[in-house]
Structure 1
């Protein structure tokens, strides 16, 4: 059987730089010596009927940061976490009930700096078994799947903008049905899409 993730695995060896929420906003001047907190997000990939899908969450609307936004499961690295990979796997268990023992870590993408001062490492992992999705009600409003091919097709991305803290901010979007995928999640996926264009 051909590996449905062969192109994804090959893409991990492609060259690409770190990204940030400010990539499309060159006028933003970031302070020197700023301290970024390490965080990890899991990009969980599930093979359904031979087709790779990415599992995404819709954040709860009452959260202080990024309410209602589409996100990967993940969060800041705690002292008890061995590294950002461990943090991503722990958060995925907490947020959507994904057991870490059924996740095969494929690799990581370059870090992404967020407006909330995190240095996020995206961790790609293949989900190798079925599991019961259990959204954490305090953080996750909904869990859904999107075909990997949809969010790694550069033609499906567009740049949009809105005013934020008195300035116009530009960002990538890659909508899927009723889900408006934008911001850091879309930027990380755009980086992956660019890598896959190279293989």
Structure 2
């Protein structure tokens, strides 16, 4: 199979990062952070989870590991790393943080900061049974193809809100997760 490819070096040279020092917590909203884990391979992958169907918020949705900042977290990056460790057993010291993406507002009232990091290819993932029903990897080049995301405009409480929809294998990727991946694609300028 031939066609365009994206190496980790291509990704890193194109990533217009916001420096992690800019990841300041705002006092206005409840803060959360997610780890956007890029798997270090010749053709890199993007690690995603499927949330447990037993969770109260966003059950069964495809997501990045992450969650609310708590009082023990020194920063948004620390929160993303702690949550990734709790949810899928990614050791915090195995993540090479390369930057952050602009924060996004969730429908549940959080300001969510995506923290982009590189993780080793050989990590053994152990999903927390309470929070995660599946852990899977999507080829980064495929994930960053803008043409795979389709807009859907939703009207809620008198406001128009655009969400993005996509499929990967049997996983439905949509909402904040699809929006974060699409923002990453826009940041690095990958063509559709």
- Where on the TM-score scale, by shorter chain, does this alignment land: which range? 0.7 to 0.9
Alignment of 1:124 onto 2:116: yes
How far the C-alpha of 1:198 sits from its partner, in A, is 7.0
Output one character per residue of 1:153-181: Cα deviation in whole Å (capped at 9) or x when no partner: 11111113568679886410121110110
Any conservation in 2 of the 1:60–1:68 contact (CA below 8 Å)? yes
Match of 2:23 in 1: none
1:186 to 178, 186, 190: 178
Alignment of 1:90 onto 2:82: yes
After superposition, the CA RMSD in angstroms is 2.4
Equivalent position SS for 2:47: strand
Partner Cα distance (1:162, 1:109) in 2: 24
Match of 1:27 in 2: none
Any conservation in 1 of the 2:17–2:99 contact (CA below 8 Å)? no
Give the structure-1-normalised TM-score. 0.80
Which ranges in structure 2 are unaligned for 5 or more consecutive residues?
Answer: 1-5, 19-26
How far the C-alpha of 1:125 sits from its partner, in A, is 0.7
103 and 179 in structure 1: CA distance in 2 versus 1, 3 angstrom threshold = same
How far the C-alpha of 1:196 sits from its partner, in A, is 1.9
* Number of aligned residue pairs: 178
1:37 to 9, 30, 34: 30
Match of 2:163 in 1: 171
Partner Cα distance (1:140, 1:5) in 2: 27
Output one character per residue of 1:17-55: Cα deviation in whole Å (capped at 9) or x when no partner: xxxxxxxxxxxxxxxxx942111100111123x110011
1:9 to 9, 12, 16: 12
Match of 1:53 in 2: 45
Return 165-174 or 150-159, whichever deviates more.
165-174
Any conservation in 2 of the 1:40–1:76 contact (CA below 8 Å)? yes
Any conservation in 2 of the 1:173–1:181 contact (CA below 8 Å)? yes
Equivalent position SS for 2:167: coil
Which ranges in structure 1 are unaligned for 5 or more consecutive residues?
Answer: 16-33
Any conservation in 1 of the 2:33–2:115 contact (CA below 8 Å)? yes
Give the structure-2-normalised TM-score. 0.83
